[in-house]
Structure 1
Amino acid sequence: MRQRVLRVALVAVLVALVVLAVPLAAAMRAYFFADERDELERDALTAAVRVGPDFTSGDPVELPAGGGDVRLGVYDMRMRLRAGEGPARADPDTRRADTGTVVRGRAGGDLVVAVPVSQNEQVIGVVRASSPAWGVWLRILLAWLALLGAALGALAVAVLVARRQARVLTAPLEALSRQSRAVTEGDLTARAAPSAIAEIDQVARTHNAMVERLAHLLQRERNFTANTSHQLRTPLAGLQLGLEAALADPRTDPRTALEEALESTHHLHHTIDEVLRLAGPERSPMPEPAAAQLLGEALDSAEQRWHGLFADAGRRFIVAAEPGTREMPVPGRTVGQILDVLLDNARGHGRGTAEVTARSLGETVALDVRDEGILRIDPAVLFDRGHTTGPGAGIGLALAADLAEAAGGRLVLAGTDPTTFTLLLPPGPAETND
């Protein structure tokens, strides 16, 4: 690319030099010949003044000295040389001057100017001035050499400027190519830097926007996969434990085990629906709100899912609600998913009794999830993906915060000793059957 730009610039400069230099060289040649003939004419006119009225009667003529290689000669009307230098018999150009006009021409290798000498409006002689043409050609060649030197100098400057401009033009494109190659190799953090060229900057901005969008989509896909695996792990474990317990005890009523397994599969369906809703297109219209459910039903469902798991770990699990809060409508699936994340976090990272408390803040519902553990992670990064205090992947709290935000609510850390999370939910939709 850089060599191509350099070649284009040099071709343009060469064409411009040729277009300018050739006519200029021709003009210089014409100028030098015209200037030499003007000099000869002036010398001839000066000599013609020296020719007196007695020239026709044989009076001698004293001609002035010509400058340089100029030779002066005076011819009578018989075209014989009477004084000065020149051919003994006049050449054709000199002969034509006897008509009373100045004649310019060439004779052999000389430039010739013939000036008529008049007396009483009669031509009595001709003054011939001549100089060798090679002297003019010498000056022309020197001028052409100077012109060639100037052209070569201009070409050298053009090469330097073209090389610099080629670097300026191609450097951003080469950088953009490197960034594109880095993206193809998997580095989605590579971004094209701005340059001083508006058109290339536009391409770079489009490239960066494309990579940004691609990285965002890939991150959403990764988050969806991580969210799904995180949210399905606990319900699947509970379903497996329930079925294994039913198989281990032959006295267990299989209908009860099947009903519990069916309830677990319903919860799995709800979990998948919530994760899919959260991973919906970013620029789609407002996502369809989750089905409404009474808060009491959501709390009872969470207690049913988690009471046995905490009991198996030798820990108490308490669910409490202020009067009047159990009848408040909430997005049941979303609340269930967030409670699952917070309770799984309390079971894996906390200690002692875990408690879920529902309270009313006017039209807003507040759910407090508390255990007796102490939080030892920086609250500023608590909801960032990948940050964890234990063996987990650091997905749950980030997912819970996203779910709360998608439902129009907010999940906050209310305390670190003991660890307390508060889920704030706006006024829920009208109650529907789920």
Structure 2
Amino acid sequence: MRRRLITSTLAVVLVVIAVFGISLVIVEARTIQSSAHDSVQSEAVRMVGLVENRLLAGESVDAKGLDRQISADRYAVVSVPGHPQVRLGERPSGAVISSTEHGDHGESVTVQEPRSTVSQEIGRTLLVILAVALLAVLAAVALAVRQARRLASPLTDLAETAERLGSGDPRPRHRRYGVPELDRIADVLDASAERIGRMLTAERRLAADASHQLRTPLTALSMRLEEIVATADDHEAVKEEAAIALGQVERLTDVVQRLLTNSRDPRTGSAVDFDLDEVIRQQVEEWRQAFQGEGRAVELSGTRGLRAVGTPGAVAQVLATLIENSLMHGAGTLALHTRVTGNQAVVEVSDGGPGVPPDLGARVFERTVSGRNSTGLGLAVARDLAEADGGRLELLQQRPPVFALFLAQEMPPQPPREEVIG
């Protein structure tokens, strides 16, 4: 923007200088030429008057008496009937400006001036005009730079404010710049920041309230399942199912606790180094029976012994969402494949079903977007859970569907904590 402002201002100034400067040069050149011709003519009239006075006084007309009456850079020829011709000064070479005047007694005087003198005067005038034009250009550039800074700096500041707002920092800045249009934009951004701040506060309060209300029934359900496990010694199937349900409740409790913690302080992280194989194995054991009931198989392949960084409960929830989607919308064998790429552990979940419709594509992770008449929240929540610990959830292939969960394998360096002593 600064370059465009400077360029446009300079272009306008150059056009103005070109139009008026050329006109001024033409007018000045004609004025100088006209003035030089008038001066030569005046010189000739003056010399005729001197010659006529000498004739009336009976004095001789010769160069000795008239050489001091002619200007140094001019040449004159005096002609008097009955007298020899008188030449004054040095005859110029090249183009000249000439004027001839006649007296009452037949005398005539011709005065000449080199045209180069006029050209030099025009050149000096042109240099003065060029110097003034250059000063005008420099002044215009300085003014354009100042104006560009005055306009570009607020726009850069407003862009930073918008970027900060988009990154989740809804604090208004209350900065004004003295330009009505820019101040209007700043007012709108500040108002938007305040509204977004209120919305985020309300959402966090709702998440905290919901999480707090869910903890009590989940705790009671967990205690009840523990009692079933403890008293079902003679019913191994019941004991096994209760243990599986207890594990699910514990993971759900972990997710609820995570939501509660994030609602209090979104910057608080709970990522740890954990055994990725163990989480995958738990999910396979929980969902295997459901897939067998549909006549489908579950297969594990890939690298074993992987460890990843994240929240085990959140990772389990992401995998559970992918497996449940495969059970509801997929077909064929459910395949879970693990691999390593760079410093990330990857879990790929795929099946032989029809996959994601072509019109959805990457939008499948957007909230309320669904191609199977579902809520459209599962994959959106799963992606948020993955990104909360620095991972990511992606759709690698639409047909057949292949979803991939990327998790870091190393803990990121922790920033130093500030200790308040008081």
TM score, norm. by length of structure 2? 0.46
TM score, norm. by length of structure 1? 0.45
Structure with higher Rg: it is 1
